[in-house]
Chain A
Amino acid sequence: MRRRGVLSLVLLAVVTLVVSASGAADFAFPLQANSVRLAAIGDMGTGEQPQIDVAQQMVKSRKAFPFEFVITLGDNIYTGSQPSDFEKAFAVPYKLLLDAGVQFYATLGNHDTTNERFYKPFNMNGANYYTYKKGHVRFFALDSNYMDPKQTAWIETQLREAGNGDWKICYFHHPLYSSGRYHGPAIDLRKVLEPLFVKYGVDVVFSGHDHVFERIRPQKGIYYFIEGASGSLRAGNLAPSAITAKGFDTDRSFMMIEFAGDDMYFQTTSRTGVAVDSGVIHRTIRPASGGVAHE
């Protein structure tokens, strides 16, 4: 009797593993020549073991999906601004990635000090907000702590001048849409940014702040992702709502993304290597409309 019980448990464990593995294996990045490959992490800078676990999983995943750079969605360093804080919360956890030449492009969260913009590995070049281009993808990194008229005017100019040919990706700390119970959406910020995003055809927006992963159903044609659980976690904090396409709030996670032509492939992976979400977003070139997601 006891042997049958043990056998059942083993069988259950095997089935669970297969389901998890198939979740991860089902999805394949195209790894096209000239595609743009990156990872996204947010709210990671604790310097604690879960952050290190995620970093190690990123290294493992990079063997199959060689991403070239990482965008950070804020709260890069929670503990302070002493040199030891930079070491503990960034340089040590991501050492293997840094040594492999992976670049990081940071944004500031509410736990970051503005002097992080002078830390070369964050590639902010002394600016609180900035833009850069990788292949056919234009990135806009914003400072959502301080969205003053000067920054708003700057983002409008940059979006307008970017034209319609490239993907337009914005990222910053505070999410415009969120089903996180603790913070929720930054509606005040949404009022300022969303009209610009719609007007100038932003395709995808990445944020953190809520310590969960959430993929939001397209809002006014724009895709929104929250990845705020790459170090910190508020387990069970997600209250899935009508805008939630997919959520994950039981463990830490990070995202991998590939822009191949007009398709954006994405996968969210837990710190144990389980694929918790994946899909493809197809972009139609337009000034103010969204694409179609295939899960």
Chain B
Amino acid sequence: MRTKRWIRCRGVSGLVALFLCVVATRLLAGQGAAPSKERADDAAAFKEFSARVQAYVKVQQTVESSLPALKPTDLPEMITAHQQALARKIREARPRAKPGDIFTPAAREAFRHASRAALEGPRSANSRAYMKPGAADSTMLLVVNGIYPDTEPITALSPALLTAFPPLPVEVAYRVVGRTLIVIDVKSRLVVDVARLILPPAS
């Protein structure tokens, strides 16, 4: 009788142990899956971001091809005229452009993860320091299809950050103002898209 109870007891303990093992294994597997899923989501979001940037660049190139080519010139008036005409025509080509057209919600999340990885923690102090001095005024008004002001300094971008972000074609570039990430059109200085609260807060 006692032996039977002992066997039953051991059987139950074994089942409990097996159950706990299975649960623990599933939990551990889940923990590993979360970052890899996040990585996959970010990679997909960056891919979509790059495709949207390419679509913008196609518009920009089409528009620019209708203007006299900007070549090195002694006349700054020519540079200004090209910049202004290009900006006007791009605005006409995408009149309903709005925040999020290029920085989709998933892309914003992916940029947040990449920024955090590049700029957070004690080992990233140099990267943050590089972007700080002479930085752009974080109260600057930034709107899609607006002009990035030419009287404000630009924030130098940490090489670590530029390595973590998807590469951009030469027609556009990243800019950072405070915690906001921007894609600007380099020649027209148009703000192509704005994503706020991307960079980690200053520690």
Q: Footprint of B on A, CB under 8 Å?
A: 79-83, 85-87, 110-111, 113-115, 117-121, 124-126, 144-150, 152, 174, 182-184, 186-189, 191-192, 209
Contact = CB atoms under 8 A, between A and B. Distances in A.
Contact of B159 (A86, A184, A189): A189
Interface in B59-111: 70-77, 79-80, 83
Interface of B: 70-77, 79-80, 83, 126-127, 129-130, 133-134, 150-151, 153-160, 162-163, 167, 173, 186-187, 189
A127 B144 CA distance: 26
B25 to A, nearest CB: 40
A118 to B, nearest CB: 5
A187 B126 contact: yes
B160 A188 contact: yes
B58 to A, nearest CB: 20
B156 A83 contact: no
Contacts of A146: 156-157, 162, 173
B151 A80 contact: yes
B130 A120 contact: no
A110 B162 contact: no
B159 A125 contact: no
A152 B80 CA distance: 30
19 contacts: A82-B76, A83-B75, A113-B150, A114-B173, A125-B72, A126-B70, A126-B72, A144-B156, A146-B157, A147-B162, A150-B167, A152-B159, A182-B133, A186-B156, A187-B126, A188-B130, A188-B160, A191-B126, A192-B159
Given A82-B76, A110-B153, A144-B156, 20 more contacts: A81-B80, A85-B76, A110-B134, A110-B155, A118-B72, A118-B73, A118-B79, A119-B79, A126-B71, A145-B156, A146-B156, A147-B157, A148-B167, A149-B162, A184-B129, A186-B156, A187-B130, A188-B127, A189-B156, A191-B126
Contacts of A113: 150, 189
B159 A119 contact: no
A61 B74 CA distance: 26
A149 B163 contact: yes
Contact of A118 (B71, B126, B134): B71
A145 B157 contact: yes
Contact of B73 (A120, A144, A183): A120
